Amino acid sequence: MNDAAIELVGVYKDFLSHGETVRAVRPLDLAVGPGEFFSLLGPSGCGKTTTMRMIAGFEEPTGGAVFLDGRDVTQVAPHKRDVNMVFQSYALFPHLTTYQNVAFGLERRKVAKDEVRRRVGEILEIVSLTGMEKRSPREMSGGQQQRVALARALVNGPRALLLDEPLGALDLKLRQQMQIELKRIQREVGITFVYVTHDQGEALTMSDRIAVMQAGTIEQLGSPREIYERPATRFVAGFIGTSNLLDGPAETVGDGIAVLAYGPDERVLVPVPASVRAGDALEVSVRPEKIDLSRDAPVGDGGSVLTGVVTDVVYHGTSTNYTVKTAAGADLVVFDQNAFSAEDLAAPGDRVHLTWSPQHSYPIGVR
């Protein structure tokens, strides 16, 4: 990416632990485009926060280089990098008002008072806090405090904003509201956002692109749709949402479709690259919402068909989730949207048929 706002080239980070060297982030190359909402997603300890801290300058890479707008800032102090960071704790000054918190950085830089008022007013309008200038943090809700922290970080016009799990302290409903607000704010100000989270829903909702990290490496980099619909590895398939995993040898391969057979009328059809041959062992991912569940045998033979016995039924309001022990030897989860009926499709102990289209199977491994 020639015009990258942020670029990491061969960056890695080692720590000493009990006299041993531990590699928290393995050598990685990464480019974030101008105005992009980019998320680093992964479980605790995967290296995502360490990667962000190396971008911010709070951690010095053991090796490699960090570039901001094409400038090597690997040895540049954090306050000279023209990036700001928002933390989960907000880090607001409790004795200052909303206006004073947001204006703090501008006043430290000796910006003229009229300019401070103009810029603070503009950014408070963007984050929907107009009229709350005189409130102190303790008089505000968690969501409002988060907006103050965002306004304070954005008012200086940084080239990039780094956000380290900033919604983690909010309750679920407020967190969902703030996800939408964060994306709106990012679009309105046009600044590059790099967002660290372990919450798959947050990343899928807000991001233009996502880097899924595990054990200090990037397992997959792509758009939310690419990562969800076409997971590159078993880890990504399991970490992003819920995924059913099936494996077995390809009995036949033709016209770009491999058939995994589990019995006379039990099969999984999966699109495969030209390199796959009959006999190759495949690992296949299929999402629960792609599967149709019925007590009646399917008509036709154009897709994947498995039979099984329902072992669990869980009602989730908008959907009912079924767990089915199949002839393929795997327990598959099926999500059925409660759009047309509040009645369950089946009960525990029922024998059912599972069907889905070939394009909803995705190969994540070939041996």
What is the architecture, at CATH level 2, of domain 6-239? Answer: 3-Layer(aba) Sandwich (3.40)
Angstrom distance (rounded) from CA 338 to CA 318: 5
Q: Would you state the pLDDT for residue 1? A: 55
Q: Would you state the pLDDT for residue 324? A: 97
Q: Would you state the pLDDT for residue 340? A: 75
pTM: 0.90
Question: What are the sequence ranges of the domains in the chain?
Answer: 6-239, 244-366
Which run of H or E residues covers position 294? strand 292-294
Report the CATH number of the 244-366 domain. 2.40.50.100
Buried b (16+ CB within 10 A) or exposed e, 207-234: bbbbbbbbebbbbbbbebeebbbbbbbb
Would you give the distance in Å from CA 328 to the centre of its chain? 31
Q: What is the mean pLDDT of each run of 10 residues along the chain (367 residues)?
A: 88 93 96 97 95 96 96 95 86 93 92 94 93 93 90 92 88 87 92 95 95 97 96 94 93 95 91 94 95 88 91 93 91 90 87 95 87
Q: Would you state the pLDDT for residue 2? A: 62
